[in-house]
Chain A
Amino acid sequence: AKDVTMPAKLPVNFFSTRSPVIDLFRGQLDYADQLRQDSEIVLYFFYAPWCGQSIAAREEIEHVASRLSDQVLFVAVNCWWNQGKCRKQKHFFYFPVIHLYHRSFGPIEYKGPMSAVYIEKFVRRVMTPLLYISSRSKLLDFLSNYEPGVVGFFEFNASPQPPGYLTFFTSALHSLKKDYLGTIRFGVVTDKRVAEEISLVHSGSVYLHRHANTSLIYPKDIMNFTAENICKWALENREMLIRWLRPHGGKSLLLNNELKKGPALLIFIPYNPLAEIHPLLDEITKVALEYHKCNKSQAAEADLQHVGDSDSPAFDSSVTDGHLKFSETFPIAKYPCCNTVVLPQWHSISRTHNVCELCVNQTLGVKPNKVHVPHCNFLEIEAALDSFYLQEHTFFQVISNTIECSNFLSFYSPFSYYTACCRTVNRHFLSFISSEKTIFQTPKVAFSSHGKKDNTKFSIPHIEDRNCFIPDLNISSTNITGLSCRTNKTLNLYLLDSNLFWIYAERLGASRSTHLKEFAAIVDLKEEVHYVLDQNQSLVGPTLEDFIKNFSVLYSPLKRHLVDDPSAHFHEEHVVTEVTTSTFQETVFLSAKNVLLLYYAQWCGFCASLNHIFIQLARLLPSDSFTVARIDVTRNDLPWEFMTDRLPTILFFPHQRKEQSVKFPEDFSVNLPNLLKFILHHSSLSSEPCTKECLHKESVLQQGHISHLEREIQKLRSEISALHQAHDQLEAQLSEARREEQRLQQQKHTLEKQHKTLQLHSEQLQATYDQKNQELLEMAEKLQELADASENLLKENALLRILVASRGGKLQSKDEIKEPLQSEQTLSEDNDMSLSTATAALEEKRIDNIDTIETERSSGNRTE
C-alpha cells in the first residue's frame, strides 16, 4: 500500500452542455482550429479546471456568449489535461487565457478585466475594428472623443478596394494586440468632402487627431505603409490628456510609474464600456482638454463645443476645425506647427521654470520652391524638438516675465527654422493676483516685438488667455484653460473605473457609506500627501475645475487628507482607549487627563505582543486622571508633527503640558514597572502653593488611592482564594498520594509475608525432598540387598534343583526316602513370592519421588 498512487481525475465538462460556449474539455486543440474556419470571429477561452480565476471568468464568458453567440464563436479549451492536445502544444503561465481571431488575423490576446462588459466591448472592437464615418457630424463626434482617434481616407469608387485599405484595417486590428485597453480608435472616411474637413486630399492618407498639440498625417514617404508601422506611429504620437488606469491584478509598476511623473489627479467613476453615452466622462474630458489647452485655443474650443453636444446641427464653418480657417486665411503660411514644452527646472530649489512654445517656422530663411508641406508633419515637429533640446540650455536662463522668442536653425534641414517663444513662470505668479495686470501686459508687448512670423495670432502663447488673469482675489475665477502649462504643479489626469478599482478610493479616504461610487483625489507621491475632493459635493465639471485650481495656486487652500478608520467608531468603550484621526485632538489634547499614547499597527509583531501590558497598565492607573490610549497608524493618518516612523512608539502627554509630550525611550524594554516609572517621572510635579482646589484634588487623589488599594485587596483576596484552591488541590493530591503510599506499604507487607511463607514452604519442601531422597537411597540399598538375597536364593534354588535332580535320580531306586524332599519344594515356592512383592514396592517408591519434585518446582515458581 506504500506506493499506491492515483492518476488525476478525468476531465469533465467545465461549461454546462446548454451553454452557448463550445467546451472542448479534453483539450482538442486540433478540433478548435477546425472550428475557426467556419466563423469570422472566434473567441478561445483556454482554462484549467482547478483554477479559481478560470472558474470566476466562466460566468462572465457565458454572459458575453449569450449576447454575441450569433456573430461570434465561443470555444473553451481545457489546456491543462496532460493527455490533451492543447496542453502538449501550448505553454501557459496563467489561466484563463483569452484569444480572439478576426478571420485569419490573430491571436489577439485579451488582457483586460475579467468582467463581462469589458470583454464584450473588446470582442465588439475586434468585430469592427474600423468605424465607418459617413458624415461631417460623425467625424466631429469621432474626433471630439477624449481618446485618440486615427482616421483613414479611402475612396472606394475606383477599385473594389482602394490600395492600402486592407493595411489600414489590419493596423486597426494590430493596435488591439498592443493596446488591449483599446484607447486608440480607428475610423475610415470614404467621402472626399468629409475628408476635406481634416485636410485629407489623397485617398490612402491617415490622420492622427490630437487636441492639445497639432494633429499629424502619417508620413508615407518616410515610413513604409505597413500595418505595424501605422499602429506604432499612432501609439507613439497619441495624446494622453487623460488616461484610464486598469491594473491587471498581477505584480505591476503601473501606479509607481505614473505617480512618479508628478502629482496626479485620480478620478473614480463607475464606467460601463458598453454604454452609448457617458455624460460624466464627457464632462471630465472637457475639463481635461481645457486644462491642457496650452495652444491652439480655437481648435480645442471647437472640439469642446462638440463634446456633450454631439447632435448639434450647427456645423458651420465658424465652428469648424481651426486648421481649415488658418489655411484659408493664410494660404501661403505654413500650418502652424507648434508644441508646448515645459522645461524641467534646472535647479531643484528654483522658484521658476520656463515654458516654451516651439513652432516650426518655414517663413523664415530661404524657402525653396519645392517645399510644400501641407500639414504639420510629426517628423518635423520631432526634429524641431530634437533641435530644441540640443539648445535647451539657452532657454534655461531666467527670462523675466516677458516672452522671448528666438529663431534657431533646424538641426536637420538648413531650410527650416524653428521659433521658440519662452517665458519664465514664477512660482509666485499665480499668487500675486493683484499685480498680474502689469506683469502680463509686458509679455504682450514683448511678444509683438518679436512677432516676425505671419501666423503670430495663432501662435499666441496660451499664457495670455484673455480672461485668464482678471485681478480677482476669488481663486475660483482663475481660469482652468491651459492651467497645466502655467503652473509648476502640473497634474496628470487619470480615470479609474470604480466598479473595479474602488478599493483605491477607499484607501484614499472615500467614505464607505456612499452608494454613489464617485471620488476624486490628488496624489503627490513625492510630497507624500494627497487631497480629496469634498465628498459632499457631487463630482461634476465645475467642482473638479475648482479642485484643480485650488491645487495649482501657491498657497493652496487644500488640506492634506487624513484617512480615518471608520470601523473604529463603532467599537464600544475599551480599557485602552482607541484613538482615530478624528478623535485624536479630543482624546489627547482636549482631555484634562494625562495621556499615554501607543502608536501601533495590528500587523507589527512587536506591538501585538505588548497588548497585555497596556491592558494591565490601564487597569492599574486611576481612570479619572489617566488615559491609556492607542492609535493604529496604518488606518489613521495624523498631522506630520505627530507622525512616527517606528512602531511601537509610546508618547506621554502630561496633563496641562500637552505640548511637551515625551517619548518612552526606545532602548528600555517595555514592561509594567518601566512604564510606571516613566509616567511617574514625567507626570506633573508643579510646586504651586496648595489652594483649596489643590486640597480638593488631593482628596480626590486619596480617594483614588483608596479605591486602588481596595481593588488591590480585592485582587489579593481572589489571589488568596486561588491559592486556597491550589492549596486544596495540592492537599487533595497529597492525601491521595499518602493514601496511595499507605496502600503500597500494605501491599509491600503482604508481599513480604507471602514471600516469607513461600520461602518457608520452599525450605520445607527442600527438607522433605532431602528426606525422601535419603529414604529412597536406603530403599535402594535394601532393594539391592534383597536383590542380592534373591539372587543367592535363586542360586541356592538352582543348586537345590540340581541337588534335587541328582537326589531324585538316586532316590528313584530308593522310594522309601520320598517324603522329606516334598517339604523342601514348598519352601522354594515361598521364596519366589516374596521377591515379586519387593519389586512392586520399589516401583511405587519411584512414582512418589517424581511427585515430590514436581510439587517443589511449582512452589518455586510461585515464589518467583
Chain B
Amino acid sequence: AVRGPAGPGLSAACLCRRERVRAMFYHAYEHYLESAFPYDELRPLTCDGQDTWGSFSLTLIDALDTLLILGNVSEFQRVVNVLQEGVDFDIDVNASVFETNIRVVGGLLSAHLLSRKAGVQVEAGWPCSGPLLRMAEEAARKLLPAFQTPTGMPYGTVNLLHGVNPGETPVTCTAGIGTFIVEFATLSHLTGDPVFEDVARKALKALWKNRSDIGLVGNHIDVITAKWVAQDAGIGAGVDSYFEYLVKGAILLQDKELMSMFLEYNKAIKNYTKFDDWYLWVQMYKGTVSMPVFQSLEAYWPGLQSLIGDVDNAMRTFLNYYTVWKQFGGLPEFYNIPQGYTVDKREGYPLRPELIESAMYLYRATRDPTLLELGRDAVESIEKISKVDCGFATIKDLRDHRLDNRMESFFLAETIKYLYLLFDPDNFIHNDGSDFDVVVTPYGECVLNAGGYIFNTEAHPIDPAALHCCRKRKEEQWEVEDLMREFYSRKKTKKFTLKRAPDHGEGENAKDPEDASSEKEKRNSKKSSHSLLSCPSQSFNSKLAVLGQVFLDNT
C-alpha cells in the first residue's frame, strides 16, 4: 500500500489532497468489508449491508481497480482470490442488464487487464485468458438472452438463471441499449468469440435507425416495436452513456462509423438543446424545450468533449456546472436553470462522480487550477457533509444536507478514483506512452500499458492495446513480417528495385488487395474534409483560457 515519492508535477497542496482522498477511500472500503461484505452495498447509517443490483459483492468488484490505482497491490491480489472463490452468477436473481454490464463485466475486465501490473501470477495465455476474464465472460453470457428481440435492442432486465422473465417489460432506456460496445468488444477481442461485439453493434445500429428526423433520440423505447415511449431528448439520465460509448467505442476500436454517428448527434444536440452553454431537454421530434433543467448525470459531457478536442466548449459548460456545485456543495439530480434552484423530489446527491470525471479529463487538457479547485471543493463537501462513522452516506436533500442510508458502489469505483487521479498527475493511468510493458503471449509479442486507457462508464479502465493482442495479432504479424523483409531487400537492391520488382512479387502481391480496400475506404470518406478519428488542435487563445476565462469563437 505504499507508493514511491511524488513526482515533480505534484504541488504540496495536490499531494495533501491526494492523501485525503486515499484516507476517504479506506474509511469507506474498510467499513464495507467489515460490516457489509458479501452484500452488494454498505448501508452507512445502520452499519450493515444489502443487495442492490444482484448479489455479487458489487462494491468489492467495483472498487477493485481503484485499489490498484491507489497503489495497494496486496489487497488487490487478495480480493482477486476472494472473488474467484466467492462470486457465483448461477443465481436466481433479476439483474439490470445495463448495470451488470458496466459494473460487473466492466469491473472484472479491467481487473483482468490490470492484474499483471498488480503482481498477480497470470497464466500463460494472459491477456487472452485468465480466471477474471472467464468470470467476465460468464457474467456477459448471462446477459445475452436479453438481446434476443426482433430489433436487437436488449430488454432492461434479465434473470441470471432463467433468462428473460415472461411478461418482462419491453421498455428500455436508450442508455440501457447503447452502453455495451466498450465491454463487449473488449470481451470479443480477448476471447475470440465475436458474439458479444455483434450484439452490441446491432443494438447501436437499431438506435441509430430509430433516431428522429431532426437527429435526436428519446429517453425510452419499446424494444419489440421500436416505438419511442419517452420522447425527451437530452444528454442526461437515460441517454448519457449511449453518446459516451459512441465516442469511446470509436476511440477503442478506431471505428469511423461510430464516430460519424456521434458527430451527427452532436450537431443535433448543439442545434436544439444547447442554450448559453447549458444543455436542456427537448422533444425529440419537434426540438421544443420540454424541461429547462440541468441533471447531475449530464456533467460527464465536458469530459467527453475534451476527449474529442472540443476543449473550449467543454470548459465553458463545466464552469456553468461548477456554479451549481458552489451553490449547494454538490450537484442535485435536477437543477432548474431559470429558477436557479433544485427541482422538487430531485434534490439528492448520491455522491456521483460525473463533474469530477470531467474535471479530471479537462485538467489533462488545460492544467487549469480551477479544476483542482473543484477537486478541493468536492473533498471538503463530501467529508463535511456525508462522512459518517461507517462510511459515506448519500445526500438525500442538498437543501438541508439530510443523509440517506446508502453508499452506492460507484462512490468507490468512480468518485474516489477520479478525485484521486485529479490530484495524482503522475499516476500510471495518466501514462502518455513513455512507459509500456512488453508481454509475450502465445499469439506473439505484445505492447501493453502504453496509456490511453478508456474508462468505461463505471470508471473501469480498459487498455486499448490489449485489444490488439489476441487472435487478431497473429494475422497482422505475418503481414508486418512480409513488409519488413521487403523493407530490407528493397534497400539492398536499391538501383534495381524497379527492374527486379517481379522478383519480390510476393511482397507486392500481399500489398495489392490491401491497397484496393483502402482505396475504397478513401472514396467513402472523401465527403469529410478530415479524418473523423481526430481532434482539432487547440486555438491560440487556449493559452489564456484558464482561471475561468473563456473566449468566444473567432468566427
Contact = CB atoms under 8 A, between A and B. Distances in A.
Interface stretch (A452-460, A682-690, A787-795): A682-690
Contacts of A656: none
B340 interface: yes
A688 B442 CA distance: 44
A639 interface: no
Contacts of A570: 8
B47 to A, nearest CB: 10
Contact of A503 (B326, B369, B454, B552): B369
B454 A609 contact: yes
Contact of B546 (A51, A504, A667): A504
Interface string B377-393: 10111001100100001
Interface in B427-459: 432-434, 436, 440-442, 444-445, 447-448, 450-452, 454
B323 interface: yes
Nearest to A728: B124
A523 B483 contact: no
A673 B552 contact: no
Interface stretch (B133-141, B148-156, B399-407): B399-407
Interface in B166-199: none
B535 to A, nearest CB: 4
Contacts of B18: none
A674 B519 CA distance: 13
A604 B307 contact: yes
Interface in B392-422: 393, 396, 399-405
Contacts of A1: 43, 46, 48, 405
B4 to A, nearest CB: 16
A603 interface: yes
Interface stretch (A343-351, A483-491, A644-652, A838-846): A644-652
A334 to B, nearest CB: 44
A471 interface: no
Interface residues of A, number: 118
B9 interface: yes
A673 B432 CA distance: 23
B164 interface: no
Contacts of A609: 251-252, 254, 452, 454, 464
Interface in B497-555: 497-498, 511, 514, 518, 521-522, 525-526, 530-531, 533-541, 543-544, 546-552
Nearest to B475: A673
A619 B480 CA distance: 13
Nearest to A715: B445
B275 interface: no
A412 interface: no
A51 B534 contact: no
Nearest to B468: A612
Q: Which of A609, A669, A701, A726 has the most CB of B within 10 A?
A: A609
Given A688-B495, A722-B440, A726-B124, A668 B521 contact: yes
A549 B248 CA distance: 51
B202 interface: no
For B247, B370, B550, the residue with the greatest tally of chain A CB atoms inside 10 Å of its CB is B550
Nearest to B515: A677
A774 interface: no
A523 B548 contact: no
A647 B451 CA distance: 17
B441 A722 contact: yes
A729 B373 contact: no
Contacts of A619: 447
Nearest to B436: A615
B405 A4 contact: yes
B491 interface: yes
Nearest to A509: B543
Given A601-B538, A729-B125, A669 B254 contact: yes
A63 to B, nearest CB: 18
Contacts of B384: 49-50
B67 interface: no
Most chain B beta-carbon neighbours within 10 Å: one of A604, A644, A694: A604
B440 A721 contact: yes
Interface stretch (A245-253, A294-302, A827-835): A245-253
B314 to A, nearest CB: 10
B530 A646 contact: yes
Contacts of B82: none
A808 interface: no
Contact of A687 (B306, B492, B494, B546): B494
A254 B549 contact: yes
Interface in B317-369: 319-320, 323, 326-327, 329, 340, 361, 364-365, 369
Interface string A38-65: 0000000000111111011000000000
A253 B552 contact: yes
B381 A50 contact: yes
Given A255-B551, A256-B549, A605 B308 contact: yes
A51 B377 contact: yes
B369 A603 contact: no
Interface in A594-627: 599, 601-616, 619-620
Contact of B495 (A56, A567, A633, A687): A687
Chain A interface, >50% SS class = mixed
A115 to B, nearest CB: 14
B190 to A, nearest CB: 15
Nearest to A578: B434
A723 interface: yes
B487 interface: yes
Interface string B33-74: 000000000010110100000000000000000000000000
Nearest to A668: B518
A563 B543 CA distance: 10
B536 A712 contact: no
Contacts of A705: 488, 492
A726 B452 contact: no
Nearest to B453: A608
Given A50-B380, A52-B380, A609-B454, A647 B535 contact: yes
B311 interface: yes
> Which of A3, A5, A94 counts the most chain B CB atoms within 10 A?
A5
Contacts of A6: 45, 388, 393, 402-403, 405
A672 interface: yes
B90 interface: no
B490 A686 contact: no
Contacts of A251: 316, 319-320, 323, 548, 550
A143 interface: no
Interface centre among B248, B306, B380, B538 (most CB of A within 10 A): B380
Contacts of A671: 254, 476
Nearest to B393: A6
B484 interface: yes
B216 to A, nearest CB: 24
B549 A252 contact: yes
15 contacts: A55-B380, A251-B319, A523-B544, A525-B541, A605-B247, A606-B251, A610-B452, A634-B365, A673-B479, A680-B486, A687-B498, A701-B491, A702-B492, A704-B488, A729-B124
Closest 6 CB pairs of A and B: A608-B452, A611-B433, A603-B365, A612-B465, A666-B531, A8-B401
Interface of A: 1-8, 48-53, 55-56, 82, 92-95, 247-256, 259, 501, 503-504, 507-508, 523, 525, 528-530, 563, 567, 570-571, 574-576, 578, 599, 601-616, 619-620, 630, 632-634, 643-649, 665-674, 676-677, 679-680, 685-690, 694, 698, 701-702, 704-705, 708, 712, 715, 718-719, 721-723, 725-726, 728-729
Interface of B: 8-9, 43, 45-46, 48, 123-125, 247-248, 251-252, 254, 306-309, 311, 316, 319-320, 323, 326-327, 329, 340, 361, 364-365, 369-370, 373, 376-377, 379-381, 384-385, 388, 393, 396, 399-405, 432-434, 436, 440-442, 444-445, 447-448, 450-452, 454, 464-465, 468, 476, 479-481, 483-484, 486-488, 490-492, 494-495, 497-498, 511, 514, 518, 521-522, 525-526, 530-531, 533-541, 543-544, 546-552
